[in-house]
Structure 1
Amino acid sequence: MSHSFDYDLFVIGAGSGGVRAARLTAMGGKKVAVAEEYRVGGTCVIRGCVPKKFMVMASEFTHQMEVAEGFGWTVGDASFDWTKFRNAKETEIARLSGLYNANLSKAGVEIINGRAVLKDKHTVEIVGTGKTVTAERILVAVGGRPFVPEFPGSEHTITSEEAFLLPELPKRIVVVGGGY
């Protein structure tokens, strides 16, 4: 019995792993689609590694200026503008997301903007569109999201995702967790 599918590979999630799998499979001559409900680039590019590294790099400039003075540099008055930084960070993230989109398109991957839900081992529904598609293989590559447990005061917490978009820096903050 022979099956006919819409795609050879359907990827749910367009983060680093999903994009690479989709792109390489398409470059190998297979028919591939990827669905992403938010922005192509996933956890690392959009709300994880990349923006966190930008924040760390921005935070280190004051120290670097102090060190530079010890090596003969004269450093003038310096100041930090959170809004300018936040906007520049978002511009760079949009650029990187655009590169991911372009590379997928160049490889021949169909990009579906929407939330995909696995219905069975060969069927995916694109939520809110009434559209279902079939694939010989389906890769679920949805990444991760921060979790805030319930505790007294948890209503006052934000995750790194919200921190990236704060309209202004808070006067005081407690950071729980490590890494970038």
Structure 2
Amino acid sequence: AARVAAALGKRVGIAEEYRYGGTCVIRGCVPKKLYVYASQFPEHFADAAGYGWTVPEASFDWRTLVANKDREISRLEAIYVRNVEGAGGETFHSRAMIVDPHVVHLLGEDRTITADQILIATGGRPAAHPALPGHEHCIFSNEAFDLKEL
């Protein structure tokens, strides 16, 4: 929304306290796809012999997968920032609080900015449901994509 509005000549500022790109890029669709792709390689290696390939014994390194996932997410995040700024928008690495219908306070910069219109894209956070037995053992995508070991 910020990139398109800026490309249309609107004055645009986007505040993000964590990382640009939203849930899909940072902790959802993209890392999930990378992990699913990685999980399919053993099957492909096993099938390769039927297609004439000789595949040496494969090995897997979890930390390498996590590091490469992080590198890809950082690359995509940089594209999001570059696209907003390239269209004329301004990015703020800060949590934002709505003060009134036309004023936003950037907590990380301790300053306020004004706007004709404000679009709020709050995102969301998972919450363990205390009524579910075993909820204390649950992890969410925020943690699952950054486990230290498999």
The two structures have a TM-score, normalised by structure 2, of 0.92
1:162 corresponds to which residue? 143
CA distance in 2, matches of 1:64, 1:128: 48
Please state how far the C-alpha of 1:146 moved relative to its aligned partner. 2.2
Higher helix share: 2
Q: Gaps (5+ residues) in structure 2?
A: none
Q: How does 1:25-64 map to 2 (within 5 A)?
A: 25-64=5-44
Letter of the structure 2 residue corresponding to residue 94 of structure 1: S
RMSD over equivalenced CA pairs, Å: 1.4
CA distance in 1, matches of 2:12, 2:108: 21
122-131 vs 98-107, greater mean Cα deviation: 122-131
SS in 1 for 2:116: strand
Partner deviation per Cα, 1:137-159 (whole Å, 9 max, x = no partner): 11011223322111443222211
Letter of the structure 2 residue corresponding to residue 88 of structure 1: N
Partner deviation per Cα, 1:127-180 (whole Å, 9 max, x = no partner): 2543122211110112233221114432222112101111101xxxxxxxxxxx
Higher strand share: 1
Please state how far the C-alpha of 1:100 moved relative to its aligned partner. 0.9
The partner residue of 1:121 within 95, 101, 110 is: 101
Q: Gaps (5+ residues) in structure 1?
A: 1-20, 170-180
CA distance in 2, matches of 1:77, 1:53: 24
CA distance in 1, matches of 2:141, 2:6: 34
Letter of the structure 1 residue corresponding to residue 6 of structure 2: A
The two structures have a TM-score, normalised by structure 1, of 0.78
- Aligned residue pair count: 149
Q: Alignment identity in percent?
A: 52
45-54 vs 136-145, greater mean Cα deviation: 136-145
CA distance in 1, matches of 2:74, 2:35: 16
Partner deviation per Cα, 1:40-79 (whole Å, 9 max, x = no partner): 1110111010000000000011111122222221111001
1:134 corresponds to which residue? 114
Runs of 4+, deviation exceeding 6 Å: none
